[in-house]
Structure 1
Amino acid sequence: MTITFAVLLGFALDWLLGDPKKLPHPVCAVGKLISGTEKVLRRIFPATPASLTFAGIVLWLITCGVSFAVPFFLLRWLYHVNFWLGFAAETLLCWMIFARKSLADAGYHVYGAIKQSLEEGRKAIAWYVGRDTAELSEEGVIKAAVETVAENLTDGVVSPLVFMLIGGAPLGMLYKAVNTLDSMVGYHNDKYEYFGKFSAKMDDLFNFIPARLSALCMIAGAGMLHLDNRNALRIYRRDRSKHKSPNAGQTESVCAGALHIQLGGDASYFGKIVKKAAFGDPMRRVDRTDILAAVDLMTAASVFALVLCCVIRLIAKS
């Protein structure tokens, strides 16, 4: 029950307050650990495919090991000193691991910017996506924002929720390390093709079940919001496996179907056009209010996932 209540309170704090601005964020510490360890490993291992791949595995093991061990032993000590002190610390960590409000705020940021002008919209979306944004049309900015909100439901809310309910804040921090590793080194480019390969694969593995849970909760959320949940299910079944990532297409396909729009498609990265699959049918033109609808859909799915996972945990523990 302790873990369940800590997760529920952490979710509520994130809902109300978002990321605590004045507190040191543990994910920033994870990022610094990754950067520092990478520099050391690159000095130790030669720049050959096999060596870089092995170095990437070592990076993953060190980062994830430290990210789990530090909160595990800290919380264990705090609970030993005083139960409520340990509970407060675990709740604080759960709060900082969730990112629902940050994701919603990102959507609102882009929506407000695109209402002002296309140029402001391009500047805003550049904060949240890796693609080139300088030449995006208004439709491109809107689609990028909707895709970001839909895709990040998994790694911002549902995956942390699942892992925290299994193993408390320490396992939640391990997941955040996995996700941060992927975002920092999991690229298909000359620098990280081999060094980041293991991190990218492990992120896919850790998100495999939560991504599918996210999609199902999003379909349920579409029904609650009086969106087209039947079309969401149809497009999910048809398009979910089109993405190069085994997980990203799960929620993007649902969102496209629920909103009657088409997402995905080719995009420019570092000046090069990358061929990408499309999700959904272009039943209508996208509109900037689709960003708000995507945020509402993400929020509804988050609530469904929270209730479902907590009920499952309570039943399993009874």
Structure 2
Amino acid sequence: MLDAGGAARAYPASMDFHTFLPLAAVALDAALGDPHRWPHPVRLIGAALNALERPVRNCPAGLQQIYGTATAFLLSYAACACVYYLGRLPVFGWAVSLYFAYAGLALGQLLREARAAARLIGAGRDDEARRALGMLVSRDTSGLDRAGQWRTLAETVSENFCDAFVAPFLYLCLGGAPLLWLYKTISTMDSMWGYKTQRFKHLGWAGARADDLLAWVPARLSAWVLIFSASLMGLPTAGARANVRADAARMASPNAGWPMSAAAWLCGASMGGRAVYFGQEVEKPLLGPADCAWEAESVKTLLNLIIISSIALCVSASALLLGLEAVFS
């Protein structure tokens, strides 16, 4: 971290450097989203992962696992170091840090795309809705009926509340843009290599485990922020409080079920059931109240809940950072 004159300082004394950075990044994300014409660091990381996969695609499983572990460590460290040193550039370092902080958040774009998909579903434009959903999820959306479209939209929005916002925002608050991009690199690696298919189950093992570890606290924080915000909105919270832990434990992922279960109970609709991934049918655990379908109104409630929860988290984090700055300054 740097002081106003550009000299490096120890962490507690330099908290003023990034106290307002998270709020500024959130504001830019809400205003701009992720314009497709703009370059984005995640695309660069994705291109690097594609290039790094090719040399070991046909190698033995053990070698792939070692290679994947080294890639997870070195690529995340390189991203963190790159963002750190670019942020130390004279004159423009603050702007670089702000850009990387903003680019690491994806809530604004998630909400834009979710609203667009919801409009298509609500208008009965099924083919277009399935294509829009296919841009948001890794499952096969081609056979989804109307109820399946609403449910798929609700599932991806609630799960990505953690992945696209809470987790990167938390790491941004804890360690600035460099720590955020260490997390984002691991998260991107998990989203590309973290599948339990023949192609990726060994190569992506380390990235998937690292992502599980880094998302452990944010996933649980996501659920409780949703519950707290639902109470502010007057939504019933007893079901979520009583069931979120047990629901989440039934999921294959140690983290995904927390925000999904909370959202399902708070909005009064079911998640889980049949889904198709890479040509294979999967029966996902039931989350939330049984036999309650998602509809336009419940999805609208979910989107409003996500917005209120994001505001609540920003206000709480800002107050905490300001308090810490006052203590250590």
TM band (smaller chain)? over 0.9
The answer to whether residue 44 in structure 2 is matched with residue 29 in structure 1 is: yes
Deviation above 6 Å: which 4+ runs of structure 1? none
Whether the 8 Å CA contact 2:270–2:286 is kept in 1: the answer is yes
Q: Which residue of 2 aligns with 1:196?
A: 204
- Residue 165 of structure 1 deviates from its aligned partner by 1.2
Q: Which residue of 2 aligns with 1:227?
A: 235
Listed one character per residue, the Cα deviations across residues 101-120 of structure 1 (whole Å, up to 9, x for unaligned) are 11111210210111222232
Match of 2:113 among 106, 130, 150: 106
Normalising to structure 1: TM-score of the pair? 0.92
Whether the 8 Å CA contact 1:266–1:277 is kept in 2: the answer is no
C-alpha distance in 1 between matches for 2:74 and 2:245: 38
Q: Which residue of 1 aligns with 2:304?
A: 296
Matched residues, number? 310
Listed one character per residue, the Cα deviations across residues 115-153 of structure 1 (whole Å, up to 9, x for unaligned) are 222232222211111111111111111001001000001
Gaps of 5+ in 2: 1-15
C-alpha distance in 2 between matches for 1:294 and 1:235: 18
Q: Which residue of 1 aligns with 2:93?
A: 86
- Residue 230 of structure 1 deviates from its aligned partner by 2.3
Q: Which residue of 1 aligns with 2:129?
A: 121
**274-283 or 136-145, which deviates more:** 274-283
- Residue 226 of structure 1 deviates from its aligned partner by 2.1
Q: Which residue of 1 aligns with 2:63?
A: 51
Choose between structure 1 and 2: higher helix proportion.
Answer: 1
The answer to whether residue 81 in structure 2 is matched with residue 73 in structure 1 is: no
Q: Which residue of 2 aligns with 1:251?
A: 259
Q: Which residue of 2 aligns with 1:96?
A: 103
Q: Which residue of 1 aligns with 2:7?
A: none
* Paired amino acid for 1:70: C
* Paired amino acid for 2:168: P
* Paired amino acid for 1:5: F
Gaps of 5+ in 1: none
C-alpha distance in 1 between matches for 2:87 and 2:144: 46
- Residue 173 of structure 1 deviates from its aligned partner by 1.0
The answer to whether residue 231 in structure 2 is matched with residue 216 in structure 1 is: no
Whether the 8 Å CA contact 2:86–2:96 is kept in 1: the answer is no
C-alpha distance in 2 between matches for 1:20 and 1:272: 33
For the aligned residues, what is the CA RMSD? 1.7
Normalising to structure 2: TM-score of the pair? 0.89
The answer to whether residue 271 in structure 2 is matched with residue 263 in structure 1 is: yes
Percent identity over the alignment is 31
* Paired amino acid for 1:281: P
- Residue 303 of structure 1 deviates from its aligned partner by 1.6
- Say if 1:258 and 1:307 are closer, same or farther in 2 by CA, change over 3 A: same
Q: Which residue of 1 aligns with 2:147?
A: 139
Listed one character per residue, the Cα deviations across residues 191-211 of structure 1 (whole Å, up to 9, x for unaligned) are 001011111111100000011
* Paired amino acid for 1:258: L
Whether the 8 Å CA contact 2:268–2:298 is kept in 1: the answer is no
